[in-house]
Amino acid sequence: MSLRLGDTAPNFQAKTSQGDIDFYEFLGDSWGVLFSHPADYTPVCTTELGKTAQLKDDFAKRNVKVLALSVDPLEKHLGWINDINETQNTDVQFPIIADEDRKVSDLYDMIHPNASETFTVRSLFIIGPDKKVKLMITYPASTGRNFNEILRVIDSLQLTANYSVATPANWVDGEDVIVTAAVKTEDIPGRFPKGHKIVKPYLRTTPQPNK
């Protein structure tokens, strides 16, 4: 059965470009991004892993560890990393899983037979420190991911994990947020002292509480 939001992310052990790992041990108390690639030495994947490496500091300041995967062997990963570093002007320092037996791909339902019977689609999972699946996005092999959106979603998830708020359409870090229905209107001033606006009884906004 495929994973759903709120499910516990399956643990696994795997060989990676940085040695053998246990997924839960790798994450520790951090947030995690696990994402798959159809194959090594492919153009879209090369740009994606390069962009991920370039965003190292952005992930680190959000306490996020990243982990990539493809079904190609470890030796192929190591050679490909050299190409990524050269063509994308970066330094890949995060591990890439060599999932030759498709164990992890099957655990996370990354192979969609109607798209490809052998290669993973572009699946991405955001996993919280509680090891629960917080977000899933699946792209076709031909479409590269928008990493600004991934960082935006992480900002939203981390904010809403700590405060009784939700984020509106196109929200970015620093903008007003929505007070959830769980907070009574009369309790808003005590919970959100920066002020609030009642657009409708069910739509109350407040400045981002952690800014």
Q: What are the catalytic residues?
A: 45
Q: Could you tell me the maximum CA-CA distance found in the chain, to the nearest angstrom? A: 61
Is there a contact between 57 and 66 (Cβ–Cβ < 8 Å)? no
Query: What tokens appear for 78 in the block?
Result: 């190591």
Bin 66: left if φ > 0, else alpha if -120 < ψ < 50, else beta. beta
Distances, alpha carbon 78 to alpha carbons 41, 65, 172, in Å: 11, 20, 36
- The rounded distance, in Å, linking the Cα atoms of 79 and 49 is 14
